[in-house]
Amino acid sequence: MAKGKFELAAEVAQKLPRRASLKRSGEDEAYLYAYYMQATAGDNTTPRPEASLKPKWDAWNSVKGTPKATACSMYVEKVVAILTAAGDNESKRRIEAAK
């Protein structure tokens, strides 16, 4: 079964930190986490955690109410933007070609 854009983008994003030219900023990390969680788990209904986990929780909570399809699109667009900025055209083309 062929992977969709979201699944391919998630797969590529998982590998980004291991590739020096594709390091993500803290803002990129929060954005990707928020939209990944919204796309896969829906609205954040968990209580706000203690210190170290607050930034991720806050990011996810900030997109509460975003429909799954929109969250998937936002996630894919961000991964493609990161790949474009890093000049990784091969991964970008794979994602864009997926259905």
**Reported pTM:** 0.86
What total of structural domains would you count in the chain?
Answer: 1
CATH of the domain at 60: 1.20.80.10
pLDDT in tens, 19-77: 556 667 889 999 999 999 999 999 999 999 989 899 999 999 999 999 999 999 999 99
Statement: residue 1 has pLDDT above 50: no
DSSP H stretches of helix in the chain: 5-15, 26-41, 54-61, 68-86, 89-97
User: DSSP letter at 25?
Assistant: P
CA distance 62 to 54: 12
Parent domain of 28: 5-97
